[in-house]
Homo-oligomer: A and B are copies of this chain.
């Protein structure tokens, strides 16, 4: 049976990392990856509109069947946590509209799935993501953190899909 095309989303209103990939027999195929960056000068409604527009275009183009979205686990700043949660709601609305099955993962679950260790540091996670997806080190230099997180989510979801939905 073919594995689904998965979109991984690291939610944010400032920066939103995303990646679309599918695990084929033997190797992953990465359709595309990137980061939606919104204009800090704009009002929040305009920034949310941009996220909706950009995300819709990505979904339209690659037609992912399943989505893996990171949950917000902890935060220093209440006001920014509420905005990130709002962005999460916005993203969930967009995915529901498109009929995409949503799974959500905590940072701990993602690290656990990628490295086998829930408290792994960022470098360890990125290394395992590179190895799993066969991304060489030069290529990896062009991938920013937000996008690496989205790639990690895709791998995490593929590994977890047969387990109970979280």
Interface of A toward B, CB cutoff 8 Å: 45, 48-49, 52, 72, 78, 81-83, 85-94, 96-97, 102
Contact = CB atoms under 8 A, between A and B. Distances in A.
A90 B91 CA distance: 8
Contact of A81 (B82, B83, B88, B96): B82
Copies of this polypeptide in the complex: 2
For A78, A86, A97, which residue has the most chain B Cβ atoms within 10 angstroms? A86
Contacts of A91: 89
A48 B91 CA distance: 11
A89 B52 CA distance: 11
6 closest pairs, A vs B, by CB? A89-B89, A85-B85, A86-B89, A93-B93, A89-B90, A82-B85
